[in-house]
Chains A and B, each alone.
Chain A
Amino acid sequence: MRSGDSYLQTLRDANLATDNWSSAADDERIFSGAISPEAYQAHLRGEYVDWADELLETAMTQNYSLSLSGGTEKTKAYFSLNFSDENGQYRTDSYKVYSTNIRVDHQVSNWFKAGINLQASYTHQNRAYADLSTALTAIPLGRAYDDEGNVVPNPIIGDSSVANLLLNDNKNAYRNQGQNLRLYVNPYVELTPIKGLSIISRLGGALTYSRGNVFVGEGSYQYYSSAEQTRDSQKFARITDRRNYNYRWENIITYNFTPASDHDITVTGVTTWNHNQNDRLETRNNDIVSNNYLWYNIQNTTSSQTSTEYEMSKGFGLIGRLNYSYKGRYLFSASVRHDGSSRLSKDNRWDTFPSLSAGWRISDEAFMESTKSWLDNLKLRVGYGVTGTAGIDPYQSVSYLESANAILGGALVNTTNYSQSFTNRRLGWEKSYNTNFGLDVAFLNGRIDLTTDYYWTKTRGVIWTRDISSINGMYNANTPYNTAMNICETMNRGIEFALNTRNIVTKDFTWNSTLTFAYNKEKITALDAPDREWIRNSGTDFILYKGEAVNSYYHYKLAGIWQLGEEADAAVFGKNPGDIKVDVPGMHKESDGVYYKINEETGERTYYNAENRYAYSDADYQVLGHNSPDYTIGFQNTFTWKDFDLSVYLYARMGQTFRYGFLQSYDPTGVRNFPEYFNYWTENNPSNDFPAINANATSTTYPELYAMQYVDGSFFKVKNITLGYTLPKKWLNKAGLSKCRFYATITNPLVMAKSNLLKDYDPEMNGELNYPLTKQLVFGVNLSF
């Protein structure tokens, strides 16, 4: 990050660009103008802070687990206890988990079995306030601590307009807490009244209760960020309770019989019912007289607010399946499901989904006898199936009236408006038709094992929520009405394979490796909107464009920066050297300062020059890429030498685009901080990365800057390396141990991104900045008794 001289240089560059700086004598004036006179004094004293460094820490994580299992012939029991204490990357982040898993299975009689599995966990979490993006862009001037080591409210002495980000590390002034109780109960009964017949009834219930407490008090960052006389209004306490409960009840009846030798038939029938609901209660109050209150003393005063929310949905399915096997060599299966979901429109709630598959174990054929010596297994698989998705939120298929309040003429009046989603009575299941070919091969006595799959999936009626034209009114002035539609048809084609090899097997040394590869290509083949090549909702990153993937990013395609010498061309677009250059589809250059665009239908040319300018607009947007990767490769290698073991995991993900918001935080006035690798344009630095630094720039100077965020997220990394040592058996027996292994793991030791704009960043975070993936070093011991 910029600090000291590099920060000063950027400020100078910004003011030099506007003729507002010519020599060091102007430094004081530009500091005062851009920040404050006190900031200049801090600069003279050399007071700079690396806020990211102050906020983050090298944290300790502890994890203990204990498991026991045992039982009698009829009853089997297992339980485990786990405690983990993780201190986060931020100083005040902490995360403690207490969890247990209890499982009991009991054979009541020879035809009746019952059991229960219980998982419970309790989480206590403290969240830090300041996020990394705030820290990275904060003005780096001043000091975080005074001479006694106390956090100072305003880092720049005498400048009360900038508050110290570390203020919220003080637990008396700021807290953001989460407590989470999760229970998962899974009882079942299984009846096997006659041979081959099994009836299972299974209930899976999950209950989550979470509680969020937030307190912002006197002395917090928010408090000191506000003007002196208005600070009290920043204080508040808030409690949020969330309760989520769902259960799934399944009844499965299976009958397996062999009508003749070599014929094996299994018939299965399933009913499945699920019910989900969650609700939220929130209460908040701004009347915080004392920091001692926290959220435990919320009273009913004029500033208290309470609200509740509720949501539920249900689903039911009936499944029938037949499996048939001849000599274990020819395998065949057919199934049909009939599903209903409450989320869909009443008339289209139910649908039926068949599937078929067949397998042929070629290596078992007589004619393959000669290959037995080297070929262990060769199996061909073929499958075709239809699956359904009802991926919309509850209540989206009905419209209703909502009420709220508004202010009119100083009075509080009631308002009503239609709900955001309008009913689409035609909305039905999104259905995927999947065809799959697979080949499994194993040879050389299991030294090489290969599984490959090739598939293509046609999805019809992809559910997507489309905006309704504002001409019908809008939900509110920023949010259009919408309706869920079966909007498009897509095709996915892909290949997956996994290759397991045992490369070296000797007495003391082994080397095993697993190589996995997955490739997928998605494209939209049809849109449910006649005459349209694409459909896009406003305010989203994504577009549905024929021939492209569903989650395709759509924005300006940047073409660098206008350079000195290109003045005439830049002027055609209303730009100057230092401004961002956009690749405009269909725009051609005729000569310096003259461009033309060809009308696709009429072939007519429209000319543009400095007088008749062309303005970049969203008509120039292009598909920039998609969020799903083209392919991923994983390569796991395990080496053992005597009692040592070493594993190395390499991982690559290629072809995905994501939005890295931090790149947009470039402040062309040079006031807010940004990393030194943000190579900005000046008259002497013909950069093609970031546009010109300019003290008079505002938030709207470079509207195209937004598109800088879309980057190629392809990367390769060494995901982890683990080195272990197992104590020799002979030493252990005396201690009563069956195994004792010490190990050390390092995660993410090497990350290489394709884009030069992803520095000091792990692209596996997919654009998210505030919780960067970390390099982690773990030391551990496994003990078994």
Chain B
Amino acid sequence: MKKLLYKAMSVLTIVAGFNACSLDEYNPYIAEDDISLSRFADWIGQLNNSYTPLFSQLFTTIDYWTMAEGGTDCWLNARGQSYSQQLLYYDGLSTNTGASRNAMQQMYTAIGSCNSVINKADAVEDGDPATINCLVGEAYFLRGFYHLLLTTYYGNISLALNDADEEIVTAPQRNTYEEIYTQIISDLYNAFERLDVEPYEQNNGRATKKAALGMLARAYAQGAGEGLSENGVSYWQRAKEVAEDFIENMEAYGAHLYENVDDVWAHTNNRNNAEALFVATGPRAGDASWTYRSSDGSNMLAHVMCNPYALNDIYPARDNQNYLYGRVNMNVYAPSKYVIDVFDADYDKRYENTFITAFCYWSLVAPGWGTRASVVRTISDEVADKYGMKRGAVIHPYTDLNNANHGSTLGGNSYWADHVWPKGYQGEEISAMEPITNVFRHPYPLDADEDRFFIYLSKDYLTPAEKLERGYVCINIDDLFEPGGTEYRSASFDGTESYRLFPSYAKLNWSREDAFVSSSMQRRPGDIFIMRMAEVYLIAAEANVALGHPEIAVNYINPLRRRACRNAADFEAHMQVNSIDENGVLDEFTRELVGEFQRWAILKRHRAIGDRLQRYNRRAANLFNESIHYLRPISSSFLNQIDNPEEYGTNGY
């Protein structure tokens, strides 16, 4: 018996010995030494990671757009709503306002990756040194760019220069504006030195020399607003020098200014736009990126466009079937009356490049779903009378959305328009269509005998008699505003639902074969400008005015106005300026760049927000506090994470 016992005991002991040797975990997610980034592929992965907030967060989300454009003279809530009133009107703006919280996190997230790239570049064991040098330039550029955004919106934040793997900061200290801008300028110069004129792997999403130079001009201008100088030279002077040098030598840096403003906004030019200095750019149909995540596109169009189906007794497509404009179901941000009025639309084509004011329908001839005959609408007398339009109108499609008409190369469900039917055309022949480069840029003003549009929001005031002559619904833009013109109406004023409409911002929407997402019509993944050459001209003019040289400034304003002219002869007669002041520069910024993520920053550097709100956005003016609102709040999530929240502070919120 004892023998058996010993045997059993010894077996147990041996088995126990085998098992109890180690408490280490097997972790399949670890590759050896990967955290040191010594392999080029691991290292460049961190760099690529630092680009991701551009397209998947900042420049494709309405949150950041609202923070960058809202609270200014340019944007109001449609229907007098409360959507994002924190940012549009400083109403309840606080430490838990989501948009300002998220943007700060997104910027610091990307900076974290930039720091890993910069601090660990020397450790990379494989890879070509020249390539690595160029890519380090990208990281410097991005770090400078994100820090510039941070200080623009949040003031004297903390510079983040550490790699989280090496050091964790738990009680960050604030830096001074001087320290912050010195670092930004140094990073951007570093980037300028290292970057090439052509992007790495010819990828237009990556930073290049021209991006660094343009951003340097912007950084000096923004820093000038903080009263900074560099070795005794004011930032305005440095902004002027950088911008003027850039304009002088732009071809050498690979930059370009289109001669016709229509080309800037041609949908055909959306990818690889020659005027772009730096873009946020996402997936494209026909590319591996498309199968990876085709839905990763901007949904901003849904917020900045109105829904023409508000007049659903005349307009045929509900928002979830609007293949032309996309799923326009949010309809919250509308331009202020100031923005509409600042354009002299008789001569300035930037108006119709910026706003869609006429709404049309389309045919789908080839697949037979929508022959022209089937989509032509005859308007009943009842409806015509309701809207005060001509009786007996017959409205034809403006465009055709079937890719097969023009030879699809990318396949799949893709509905886009690059041709339009001629006015007055009655047949079904696709060959009769005329090519266009931007289907949203409709003729201005709309002809009285136009037969391809259902609704027109008229900038010129039309009398009831004039409306009665037209075979489409006319709504005067002025009538959409409350008396006084600083608020949109919140209820029906004419017995129809027309108060839901507003001039719709067009620069965030594209009708392109490679920008149509079939699974989510709210999303359109086109390229979005982060900076383009025209801004360098405006900065040159802005800096010259600030330095007391308005006569030089007009040399940088006029090229932009010349190329915007409807007819060449309009320039000398109507568009040319001979003198300009600070206010004039700010208006020109609006005409050229409204909605391009710049307005709040531009007004901030001139401390002009208060004055502009008084004139154009009274709802915000009532709440704007000069001593608080030139900074966005530091979020409580940020403060929750650090050990010194009291010391760090909320920026006065």
Choose one: A18, A314, A408, A699; the contact of B491 (CB below 8 Å). Answer: A18
Complex Cα gap A735–B299 (Å): 75
Complex Cα gap A342–B24 (Å): 6
On whether the beta carbons of A316 and B112 are closer than 8 Å, the reply is no
Interface presence of B229 (CB below 8 A) = no
On whether the beta carbons of B636 and A618 are closer than 8 Å, the reply is yes
Nearest CB in chain B: distance from A260 CB, A: 28
Which of chain B's residues 190-204 have a Cβ closer than 8 Å to chain A? 199, 201, 203-204
Interface presence of A756 (CB below 8 A) = no
A273-B19, A401-B42 known; A615-B93 Cβ under 8 A:
yes
A233-B413, A251-B16, A472-B164 known; A409-B643 Cβ under 8 A:
no
Choose one: A343, A406, A417, A699; the contact of B51 (CB below 8 Å). Answer: A406
On whether the beta carbons of A474 and B283 are closer than 8 Å, the reply is no
Interface presence of B483 (CB below 8 A) = no
Among B5, B9, B49, B291, the most chain A Cβ lie within 10 Å of the Cβ of: B49
10 tightest CB-CB pairs across the interface, nearest first? A473-B112, A409-B205, A416-B45, A617-B94, A538-B637, A410-B284, A409-B203, A401-B34, A233-B519, A477-B106
Contacts of A191 in B (CB 8 A): 5, 8
Nearest CB in chain B: distance from A595 CB, A: 16
Interface segment, one of B167-175, B347-355, B429-437, B572-580: B167-175
Complex Cα gap A316–B16 (Å): 11
On whether the beta carbons of A32 and B165 are closer than 8 Å, the reply is no
Which of chain A's residues 587-627 have a Cβ closer than 8 Å to chain B? 611-613, 615-619
Contacts of B130 in A (CB 8 A): none
On whether the beta carbons of A400 and B34 are closer than 8 Å, the reply is yes
A33-B310, A615-B94 known; A416-B206 Cβ under 8 A:
no
Q: List 22 A-B contacts (CB under 8 A).
A: A32-B312, A111-B5, A191-B5, A227-B320, A227-B321, A229-B415, A230-B518, A232-B413, A273-B19, A403-B42, A410-B282, A415-B46, A417-B46, A422-B168, A467-B641, A469-B168, A477-B106, A612-B625, A700-B82, A701-B81, A701-B82, A703-B96
Contacts of B23 in A (CB 8 A): 314-316, 340-342, 349
A233-B519, A340-B23 known; A478-B35 Cβ under 8 A:
no
Contacts of A679 in B (CB 8 A): none
Interface presence of B91 (CB below 8 A) = yes
Interface presence of B510 (CB below 8 A) = no
Interface segment, one of B25-33, B444-452, B539-547, B549-557: B25-33
Complex Cα gap A402–B37 (Å): 11
Contacts of B636 in A (CB 8 A): 538, 617-619
Interface presence of B281 (CB below 8 A) = yes
Nearest CB in chain A: distance from B84 CB, A: 7
What are the interface flags for A86-105 relative to B under an 8 Å C-beta threshold, 1 for contact and 0 otherwise?
Answer: 00000000000000000000
Nearest CB in chain A: distance from B116 CB, A: 8
Which of chain B's residues 619-637 have a Cβ closer than 8 Å to chain A? 622-623, 625, 636-637
Nearest CB in chain B: distance from A384 CB, A: 28
Interface presence of B124 (CB below 8 A) = no
Complex Cα gap A471–B45 (Å): 20
Contacts of A411 in B (CB 8 A): 201, 203, 205, 287-289
On whether the beta carbons of B96 and A618 are closer than 8 Å, the reply is yes
On whether the beta carbons of B206 and A408 are closer than 8 Å, the reply is yes
Contacts of B104 in A (CB 8 A): 470
Which of chain B's residues 1-31 have a Cβ closer than 8 Å to chain A? 1-2, 4-5, 8-9, 12, 16, 19-20, 22-31
Interface presence of A37 (CB below 8 A) = yes
Residue of B whose beta carbon sits closest to that of A350? B23
Which of chain A's residues 369-405 have a Cβ closer than 8 Å to chain B? 394-395, 398-403, 405
Complex Cα gap A410–B285 (Å): 8
Complex Cα gap A124–B115 (Å): 51
On whether the beta carbons of B19 and A469 are closer than 8 Å, the reply is no
Interface presence of B160 (CB below 8 A) = yes
On whether the beta carbons of B92 and A574 are closer than 8 Å, the reply is yes
Given contacts A191-B5, A415-B52, A530-B643, 8 further A-B contacts (CB under 8 A): A20-B491, A399-B35, A418-B116, A418-B164, A467-B640, A469-B641, A472-B160, A698-B332
On whether the beta carbons of B206 and A409 are closer than 8 Å, the reply is yes
Residues of chain A at interface, number, CB under 8 A:
104
A471-B108, A613-B623 known; A406-B52 Cβ under 8 A:
yes
Nearest CB in chain B: distance from A521 CB, A: 26
Interface presence of B396 (CB below 8 A) = no
On whether the beta carbons of A230 and B640 are closer than 8 Å, the reply is no
Complex Cα gap A618–B201 (Å): 46
Nearest CB in chain B: distance from A488 CB, A: 15
Which of chain B's residues 47-88 have a Cβ closer than 8 Å to chain A? 48-49, 51-53, 55-57, 79-86
A193-B5, A473-B109, A698-B82 known; A407-B492 Cβ under 8 A:
no
Complex Cα gap A538–B48 (Å): 27
Complex Cα gap A737–B638 (Å): 72
On whether the beta carbons of B45 and A414 are closer than 8 Å, the reply is yes
A401-B31, A472-B112 known; A617-B653 Cβ under 8 A:
yes
On whether the beta carbons of A111 and B82 are closer than 8 Å, the reply is no
On whether the beta carbons of A18 and B490 are closer than 8 Å, the reply is yes
Interface presence of A201 (CB below 8 A) = yes
On whether the beta carbons of A700 and B203 are closer than 8 Å, the reply is no
Interface presence of A58 (CB below 8 A) = no
Complex Cα gap A314–B35 (Å): 25
Nearest CB in chain A: distance from B347 CB, A: 36
On whether the beta carbons of B271 and A410 are closer than 8 Å, the reply is yes
On whether the beta carbons of B41 and A414 are closer than 8 Å, the reply is yes
Contacts of A539 in B (CB 8 A): 637
Nearest CB in chain B: distance from A158 CB, A: 11
Complex Cα gap A635–B643 (Å): 49
Contacts of B22 in A (CB 8 A): 314
On whether the beta carbons of A469 and B169 are closer than 8 Å, the reply is yes
On whether the beta carbons of B30 and A19 are closer than 8 Å, the reply is no
Choose one: A33, A407, A535, A613; the contact of B293 (CB below 8 Å). Answer: A407
Complex Cα gap A536–B642 (Å): 10
Residue of A whose beta carbon sits closest to that of B205? A409
Contacts of A349 in B (CB 8 A): 23
Interface presence of B251 (CB below 8 A) = no
On whether the beta carbons of B497 and A29 are closer than 8 Å, the reply is yes
On whether the beta carbons of A415 and B321 are closer than 8 Å, the reply is no
What are the interface flags for A437-477 relative to B under an 8 Å C-beta threshold, 1 for contact and 0 otherwise?
Answer: 00000000000000000000000000000011111111011
Complex Cα gap A540–B2 (Å): 61
Interface presence of B162 (CB below 8 A) = yes
Residue of A whose beta carbon sits closest to that of B288? A412
Complex Cα gap A696–B490 (Å): 7
Nearest CB in chain B: distance from A369 CB, A: 47
Interface presence of B215 (CB below 8 A) = no
Nearest CB in chain B: distance from A562 CB, A: 14
Choose one: A401, A477, A535; the contact of B102 (CB below 8 Å). Answer: A477
Complex Cα gap A32–B81 (Å): 19
Nearest CB in chain B: distance from A35 CB, A: 10
Interface presence of B260 (CB below 8 A) = no
Choose one: A273, A398, A407, A422; the contact of B164 (CB below 8 Å). Answer: A422
On whether the beta carbons of B94 and A408 are closer than 8 Å, the reply is no
Nearest CB in chain A: distance from B538 CB, A: 26
Interface presence of B113 (CB below 8 A) = yes
On whether the beta carbons of B172 and A469 are closer than 8 Å, the reply is yes
Which of chain B's residues 261-306 have a Cβ closer than 8 Å to chain A? 271, 281-284, 287-289, 291-293, 296
Interface presence of B440 (CB below 8 A) = no
Contacts of B640 in A (CB 8 A): 467, 535-538
Nearest CB in chain A: distance from B121 CB, A: 14
Contacts of B257 in A (CB 8 A): none
A411-B289, A469-B170 known; A230-B497 Cβ under 8 A:
no
Contacts of B160 in A (CB 8 A): 471-473
Complex Cα gap A636–B53 (Å): 59
Nearest CB in chain B: distance from A450 CB, A: 44
Among A230, A251, A314, A343, the most chain B Cβ lie within 10 Å of the Cβ of: A230
Complex Cα gap A343–B27 (Å): 11
On whether the beta carbons of A410 and B112 are closer than 8 Å, the reply is no
